[in-house]
Amino acid sequence: MSTTQTFHNFANLPYELRHQIWHMAIRPAGPGIHHFSIFQSAKNNNSSLTKLALRDNEQHAHCDHKAAAPRVAGMQKLHSRMQGNPSYYLWDAGLWTTCTESREIMLAHFRIRHWSEMIQGHRWEICFWHSHPVGAQHDNEPAMAIAPYNNKELHLMVNPHRDLFCLDPQDLGPPSTGIESSVAFHSPVRSTDMGP
């Protein structure tokens, strides 16, 4: 008997069952741990880390440091987005691009439309996640970064006010900004980048 990675009849399942399967594929509620390598972008402009760096957004394009895929456990020089990476952000990253239905499930689960409506009701400055508290109403506010992977994009979701970030320094120089500004996540409550 052969095994297959693809279930071709998934689209023929009743919507309720597909909906339940999509929800089961989303990472569990609660805090998660995310691993990144941090490197000085000017010094490592042509390194393998540059190819594994999170995609810049408008604020992070001018940062001294960049966040990239973590080191593979036990390997000093090898970095990988997938191999040996225990980060929670990988749990459901593929659901953003699998199909329209899975993307809709992710939009609903992370309440992206809710955060977008908050933006429209208020004048939020374009701002990205930061380490200081912003109030209980934002405790579950998600943030996203885009990471290149096999000529595609991975959408990495985190909760910056609840999750733990493990940053592995790689040849850092003196930063002119805080290291947390190097991790190019942006928040839907403070930026329209995540709107539907």
Which residue ranges make up each domain of the chain? Answer: 14-194
Query: Which range has highest mean pLDDT (6-20, 74-88, 142-156)?
Result: 6-20
**pLDDT score, position 112:** 80
* Greatest CA separation for the chain: 59
The three-point CA angle 173-177-180 to 5° equals 95
At residue 65, φ and ψ (nearest 5 deg) are -125, 155
Does the structure show a pLDDT above 50 at 190?
A: no
> Crossing angle of helices 15-25/100-109, nearest 10°?
60
Highest averaged pLDDT of the listed ranges 8-12, 39-43, 109-113, 184-188: 8-12
Q: State the Cα–Cα distance between residues 22 and 96, nearest whole angstrom.
A: 11
- Of 85, 159, 156, which is closest to residue 115 (Cα–Cα)? 159
Residue-by-residue DSSP string for the chain = ----S--TTGGGS-HHHHHHHHHHHSPPSS--EEEEEEEETTTTTTSHHHHTBPPP-TTGGG-SEEEEPPBPTT-SS-B-SSTT---GGGSSGGGGTS-HHHHHHHHHHTTHHHHHHHHHHS-PPP-B--SS---GGGTT--EEEEEEETTEEEEEEE-TTTSEEEEEEES----SS-GGGGS--B-TTT-GGG--
Residue 104 has pLDDT above 90, yes or no: yes
- Tens digits of per-residue pLDDT, 3-52? 667 778 899 999 999 999 999 999 888 889 999 988 887 666 657 788 88
Lowest-pLDDT range of 7-11, 58-62, 110-114, 192-196: 192-196
pTM: 0.72
User: Tokens 């000529």 label which residue?
Assistant: 151
CA dihedral 172, 173, 175, 180 (to 10 degrees): 0
